[in-house]
Amino acid sequence: MFQNLTGWHLLIILAIVMLLFGAGKLPDLARSVGQSMRIFRNEMSADAGARDASQPVTVAEEALEMNAPSDVTGTTASAT
């Protein structure tokens, strides 16, 4: 999609952005884009961490827990 972009294309796009938003608002625009990207990255890493913690127990691990020997109190030893 962006393989054919050259320096002239980027210069024209920058000129159009400056005409639309004005030179005074460009720093605010860049700051808000940076904050949005930072929030997005933080949420993605938090989502990946939550996904790792909520992975289901495999059938083999479940079978180990079901067949674990009971101690005197009647509780089973958990396999780790």
Residue 70, in any domain of the structure: no
Structural domain boundaries enclosing 46: 22-54
Number of domains in the chain: 1
> What is the mean pLDDT of the segment spanning 13-30?
86
**pLDDT value at residue 51:** 62
Sign of CA dihedral 70, 72, 78, 80: negative
Identify the band that residue 18 occupies on the pLDDT scale cut at 50, 70 and 90. Answer: confident
Residue 72, in any domain of the structure: no
**What's the token pair of residue 11?**
């210069």
Residue 67, in any domain of the structure: no
Residue 29, in any domain of the structure: yes
pLDDT, tens digit (0-9, with 9 covering 90-100), for 43-71 = 888 877 666 666 665 666 666 666 666 65
Residue 43, in any domain of the structure: yes
Identify the band that residue 34 occupies on the pLDDT scale cut at 50, 70 and 90. Answer: very high
Residue 11, in any domain of the structure: no
